[in-house]
Amino acid sequence: KAGVTQTPRYLIKTRGQQVTLSCSPISGHRSVSWYQQTPGQGLQFLFEYFSETQRNKGNFPGRFSGRQFSNSRSEMNVSTLELGDSALYLCASSLQGRGQETQYFGPGTRLLVL
């Protein structure tokens, strides 16, 4: 079974631009979560989607948004990029997003904002 895939793997943007990252979950997984990983803050939860609905949201500004499609693929968007948005963005999928389920992580998209 193919794992979680994320595209693109690397991105360079400038301040003020916007960016869209994509995540394809493991086949059959309907819950997709997004995390931001930085050296200073570690891994922080952004949001979680299930059946095209955002069920949970972390403590990030409204510039961070996402969506999920009917095939469970998910995208996240960051508008008006800031230098501090430079990070590794990780996507994770699980069957239904229940607490006892394992989340399977993708390789991440490394975003550099100049």
Chain residues binding another protein by CB under 8 A are 3-4, 33, 35, 41-45, 48, 50, 55-56, 58, 90, 92, 97-100, 102-108
**Rounded least distance, CB 90 to another protein, Å:** 7
**Rounded least distance, CB 88 to another protein, Å:** 10
**Rounded least distance, CB 94 to another protein, Å:** 10
The 10 Å CB-count burial string (b at 16+, else e) for 73-112 is: bbbbebeebeeebbbebbbbbbeebeeeeebbbbebbebe
Alpha helices in the chain (DSSP H): none
Nearer to another protein, 32 or 81 (CB): 32
For residue 59, give every residue at least 6 positions away whose Cβ sits within 8 Å of its Cβ, in sequence order, or none: 44
Nearer to another protein, 6 or 19 (CB): 6
